[in-house]
Structure formats: C-alpha cells, structure tokens
Amino acid sequence: MSLPNPSKGWRSSSSRLLALYSSLFVIWSASLMGVMYYEVSSYLDNLAKHSLMQRQHLFSHFSGEQLADALAVSMTFDIRGVDAYGLFDAELRYLNGALRHIPYGLPLDGKIHMLSDCAGSDDPTLPADSCDAVATQTRDGRWLVLVRDNGSLFAVTRIILHALFWGATLTIIPGIIGWHLLRRRPLQRIRAIQASAEAIVAGDLTRRLPLSNRRDELDMLAAIVNAMLERIERLMHEVKGVCDNIAHDLRTPLTRLRAQLYRMQQQAGEGSKEAAQLDLVLGEADTLMARFRGLLRISELEDRQRRSGFVQLDPTPLLQELHDFYLPLAEDDGLVFQLQLPGTLPPLNGDRALLFEAVANLLSNSIKFTPPGGQVILRGTDAGGHTKIEVLDSGPGIPEAEREAVFQRFYRAEAGNLKSGFGLGLSIVAAIVSLHGFTLEVGSSELGGAQLVLDCRQRLIPQA
C-alpha cells in the first residue's frame, strides 16, 4: 500500500498558509499603493490647476504694454518646457509668446481644461505632452493662453510609485525566500514520517515515527501514534502467538487421532458400515490437518528473517518449470494451457522456492475453477525494466466486490464454494508477495475469466 505524498504542490498546510499570507500581503500592498497614488495625483492635479488659476488672475489685471512686460518678467522665473504662454489679438492672430497658435480643442471660455496635446510643436521650450490650459480675454480685448505641463508635477507621483514598488519588492522577495525555507523544514520531517509510515504499512510493526528535539505539534502527534503502534504490536504478537500455539499444539493430537482412526479402519472389515464411516472421519481429520499446516505456513512466511536467503534469479526457467509441472494436470481436465514469454525477462530478487509456490497456487486455482474446454495462460512480460507474471483463465472470474477479500484467510468466493479447498491458497500467495515487496493485482482477463498479475518490482520492504 502506498501512502499519498503530502509534499507535492500546495497540499501541505504550511505551503497554503504561507501562500495565503503572501497573497493577502500583496493585495494589501497593491491597495495601499493605489490609494496613495490616487491621493497624491489628485493633490498635485489640484495644485497645478490652482497655480494656473493664480497666474490667470494675476495677468487679468494688466493690459497693453504692462501685460507684455509682466509676461516677459514671468518667463524669467518659469521653467522651460513646463510653463508657456501665447498672446493673440481679437481675431486670434499671434502677437507674442512661445505659443504660436491656440492649442487645438481649447475652448475660449476662461476655464481651465486638460489637453492631451498641449502645443503640437517640436519646440523644446513648450510642454511636450498633456497639460492644463486656459484661454482668457484681457481688458483690451486680446486673448491670453496660459499652459502648464502636467508631467513635471506628476513626476513626483512616479517617484512615489517607484518607491512603493521597490519597497513592496524588497518585502516580497525576502518573504518568498522565507516561505521556501519555512516550507522545506516541515516537509523534510513529513517525508521522514511518511517513510516510517510506509514501512509500518508494509508490515514492519517495529518501526516508529521519528521524533525531533523541538517537541512541537508534529512530535506530539508522532509520540501519540508511536504509543498506539507499541500497543498494537504487542496485541498482534499476542494474538499471533496464541493462534500459532493453537495450530502447533493441535497438530500433534490430530496426528495421533488420525493414526488411531487409521488403525481402526484397518481392523474393520472391508466394505463394512464401520469402515465407510471411518473413511469419512479420516477425511475430516485430513482436512483439519491441512488447514493447520496452511496456518503454520503463513506464520512461517510472515517471519522477515526469510529474506536473508534472497538471490537474483532469472524468471524464465522458473515459468517454464511451472508450465511443465502443471501441463499434464491441465490436459487431464480438458484445458488448453499456454506459456507466453518474450525473448528475455528482467531478473528479479527473491526466494525461488517461495515464488514457485506462489505462482503454483495461482495456476492451481485457475485450473481448478476453469471448466473443461477452457484456457489458462501463464505469461511473463517486461514492464519497463521489471518482470510481470500474469495468470489468465477463461473461468467464472472473481467478482470485483470480492477481489480484496480473496486474500483473507479461509475466505472462499461464492463461485468456488462447490470446489474443494480451505481458503488459504491466496492467503499464502499474499504472504509471499508481501515478503518480497511485490504487488498482486486481480482483474478480468481477455479470456473472460480472472487475471492475476504479480508485479515483481520491489517496493519498500520493511527490515527484519
């Protein structure tokens, strides 16, 4: 069983909390910059209009040569490219000033207007972009046009905007670095806990979740789980010990009982009623002994010390031997038994005798439950560098609802109740598969029956 990986993407709680905090900070910073930019822009815009209105009010008190002298004096204090004026006669003909013509679209109403193109000229002394402009009529009937560039004042807003931008950037970048560092440390601990949990799920109940010196929430949770594991391990050992002892202790008296029954059968007259009854009793005794042998076999396979004998082996001769062994049995039952192999199969690491027993159990079940005239296939495939062993048949198959339960001890599928068996064969197979760290999947074959796939890619194996 594989545990989900909580360290990918945004599934960890620390990643989501830090990302949420960063998002809220960015939104708040953007809102703050927007409000400040709007307030400063509005203030400077009003300031520019107020200044232009003061100049308009000042020059409205002059006329004739006095107006020309006042305009000339003002230009000595004005900034080139920011402030400009143009003086026109009553027929709007140019008289004096930097503006040679009235800006396009400027109403002659004495009110301040914002223009997108202030002068429409390449003259560097004139505002180049948008400006505030006003056309007012003097006392002697002439027209005075005053303009002021918006860019000079709005440069202040750009400076403020840049300052806020760099301030936010210098805050966000360390925040992202801190987020990465804060996220990595908890995830390293989660990965260590996950590795221990996968070993426990695989069957190593001696493993415990790692603890650190921080004594934080993860350590508290790990300590609670470790206490539970210790209790579970102790209870399972007690139950397993009781079951093993019962199976072992009863095997001896059952063997003696069978021997006594056999002697009584030999002493009874052949063909007598007593002999027939003793035959039935001997059959039941053999059944009980076979079940106890199966239980003891599973207990033996659950001993992890058996891995010390694992070697690297070629699965091709093993599958050929299994085919040769079961071919006569399949032919006696009127079945077609095929072996399908590629040229070579990747080697696998394991116990040859146990793997022979596991695949033999799968083949025995398929041959047993496939009706005469059916077909059984033993197939080996190279699945991307590792071996898969498949057993397919044309029998009744295994219902999807029972595919997990068939590996339980003494479980027999509804379709198999009419066949002999104790419900321990697939349990033994499951114990062998778990011992090797392989996986066994049950599905439907292209022949219409069951398909059992032994994936020989070794996954996490708990240590002995």
Domain ranges of the chain: 1-198, 217-302, 308-455
How large is the average pLDDT for residues 187-203? 77
Cα separation, 300 vs 452, in Å, equals 24
- Mark out the alpha helices in 302-424 (DSSP H runs): 315-332, 352-369
* Residue 280 CA, distance from chain mean position: 59
Q: What percent of the chain has pLDDT over 90?
A: 2
Look at 264 and 416; give whichever has higher pLDDT. 264
Cα separation, 115 vs 105, in Å, equals 8
Give the model's pLDDT for residue 9. 47
Whole-model pTM over 0.85 = no
Cα separation, 151 vs 81, in Å, equals 10
Taken in order 30, 36, 42, 44, is the CA torsion positive or negative?
negative
Closest by CA to 315, choosing from 280, 288, 350, 270, is 350
pLDDT, tens digit, 9 for 90 and up, residues 349-405 = 888 888 888 888 888 888 888 888 899 999 998 888 888 899 998 888 887 777 676
Give the model's pLDDT for residue 213. 80
Give the model's pLDDT for residue 1. 46
Question: Does 288 have pLDDT greater than 80?
Answer: no
The residue to which tokens 């029954």 are assigned:
261
How large is the average pLDDT for residues 298-319? 72
Cα separation, 438 vs 383, in Å, equals 14
Segments of 45-100 assigned E as strands: 83-88, 94-97
The CATH number of domain 308-455, selected from 2.120.10.30, 1.10.10.10, 3.30.70.1400, 3.30.565.10? 3.30.565.10
For the domain spanning 1-198, the CATH number is: 3.30.450
Give the model's pLDDT for residue 462. 45
For the domain spanning 217-302, the CATH number is: 1.10.287.130
Structure tokens belonging to residue 42: 């509005």
